[in-house]
Structure 1
Amino acid sequence: MRDALDTLQEHNVKVVGISPDAPGTQKRFAEKRALPFPLLSDDDHLVAQAFGVWGEKKVRGKIGMGIVRSAFLFDEDGRLLHAWYKISPKETVPKLLEALQEGP
């Protein structure tokens, strides 16, 4: 996302990241990676649960609960236009740009 931010801003897209990490952890992550967009903390998982992205996942052979990497596109009125579940970071920007070109 960071590397595509200029292109996304040309389409009037505002980027926000959200994770279950504590704000301090997110701040260090954002600083280390020079992220120019806000990261929001969902440490109680309420937002993740509402969007259906908090669930069982397997990491390094172990099963536990966590975020299912997802991306969402909303219009300026807050209506959900597209949702991509189990999307890889490499796929996120191309899928987003494709949706923007297609229109609502």
Structure 2
Amino acid sequence: MNQLAVQHLHAHCTSANALLLDVREPWEVDTAAIRLPGVAVKHIPMSRIPERLEELDPSQSIVCICHHGVRSLQVVAFLQRQGFESVYNLAGGIDAWSVEVDPSVPRY
């Protein structure tokens, strides 16, 4: 399973032209979100991934994020089973991002 440390998120996304896939619920995205200049973000709640799979490009690098990294880890495993090769889990999720990279992002 590919894990990506929060400190390497921006560099990975810009160098790989990666998509940041936020799999949290809408209220969570409204509470706290990662916004990086030049990095595309798509919000699909974890429960909707199977029905919205066609919205994702299997040839693109995708970094999945959630609150602590548990749901996104499950989404990474699912996407890999569907043939996606370049998928990563953001280790520690948005909570780790708030603590280690950007304290302006609220913790919840």
**TM-score after normalising by structure 1:** 0.35
Of Structure 1 and Structure 2, which has the larger fraction of its residues in strand? 1
The structure with the largest alpha-carbon Rg is: 1
Larger relative contact order (Cα-Cα within 8 Å, sequence gap ≥ 6): 2
Which structure dedicates a bigger proportion of its chain to helix?
2
